[in-house]
Amino acid sequence: MKSIIPNDDENCFLCKQVGRYVKGTDKHHMIFGTAKRKLAEEDGLFCQLCHTHHMILHWNGAHKEELQQLAQKTWQDHYGKTKEDFIARYGKSYL
């Protein structure tokens, strides 16, 4: 599945640079944890982050809520679904 998040696949979604200290980007599942990462992959809820931003996000949660909210809104708009549909699939609302 291709990502449904508007993003240039070669650049970090947050800083728009191709990596800061390491060349390239990492795939970040915007909804993650247990089975949610698999659902996010199926639904296209991922973006590219430079390695630095990816590690910062997982270490201290910087931008986590912002990206989860964007993922939910994009999912609802893209698939024509409701907040309740999102909760049924992912177990909670991020909005």
Beta bridge partners of 26: 49
Each residue of 60-81: pLDDT tens digit? Answer: 888 999 999 999 999 999 999 9
**pLDDT classification of 10: cutoffs 50, 70, 90:** confident
Amino acid identity, residue 84? E
Query: Which residue bears the tokens 């247990």?
Result: 34
Each residue of 20-62: pLDDT tens digit? Answer: 555 678 899 999 988 999 999 999 999 999 888 899 998 988 8
Collect all residues with Cβ–Cβ distance below 8 Å to 1 and sequence separation of at least 6. 41, 42, 43, 44
Contact 80, 73 (CB under 8 A): no
Query: Which residue bears the tokens 């991922």?
Result: 46
Residue 6 CA to residue 75 CA, distance in Å, equals 12
Collect all residues with Cβ–Cβ distance below 8 Å to 34 and sequence separation of at least 6. none
